[in-house]
Amino acid sequence: MKKRLPIWGVLLMLVVSADIAAAHCEIPCGIYGDEMRFDMIAEHITTVEKSMQMIVELSKAADRNDNQLVRWVMNKEEHANYIQDIVSQYFLTQRIVVPDAKDPAVYERYVKQLALLQQMLVYAMKAKQSVDLVNVERLRVLLAEFKEMYVEHQHKKH
């Protein structure tokens, strides 16, 4: 029994530290970069688009492979979720700082950033609901608008 105690101790430490490791990006460590997040969102948008195209193509096939079709639907859902996760977890909760409402220009930029990110969340949701490529194009436009506004502001801060 005494030989098993160290193993249980190690397992307990792993379980306890799992939450700490998962929360790693929520501390100001400087490891993660904004540009990478923009690239990741763009890649997820492209993957959603490819998934939509494959769903349409496979749905029309005479010898339709339902298993493959389901895989593409799941892929589309997964990557739309990734977009929502990055927007919510990285930008909304960690990078967009609540400003002092006394400065109208700063507050207006803050509200615009929130609106762009919220719209990205909505269009990612809409991308899950259909294969309408308009949702993909809207995501690309919103990402470009948000990135331009965000990067411009970041450079002014330094």
Domains of the chain, each with CATH number or no CATH: 32-157 (1.20.120)
41: its two tokens: 């969102």
Tokens of residue 83, six digits: 């977009």
pLDDT for residue 20: 40
Contacts of 33 (CB under 8 A, 6+ apart): none
- Output the pLDDT for position 28: 63
CB 94 within 8 A of CB 77: no
> Residue 49 corresponds to which amino acid?
E
Distances (CA, A) of 59 to 89, 101, 113, 152: 34, 51, 38, 43
Can you give the pLDDT at residue 22?
Answer: 42
Helices marked H in 1-158: 4-22, 34-60, 66-85, 104-129, 133-157
Tell me how far apart the alpha carbons of residues 6 and 62 are, in angstroms, rounded to a whole number.
60
Cα separation, 48 vs 29, whole angstroms: 31
Per-residue pLDDT of the chain (158 residues; tens, 9 = 90+): 455 555 555 555 555 544 444 444 566 666 778 999 999 999 999 999 999 999 999 999 999 999 999 999 999 999 999 999 999 999 999 899 899 889 999 999 999 999 999 999 999 999 999 999 999 999 999 999 999 999 987 755 53
Cβ within 8 Å of residue 99, ≥6 positions away: 106, 107, 109, 110
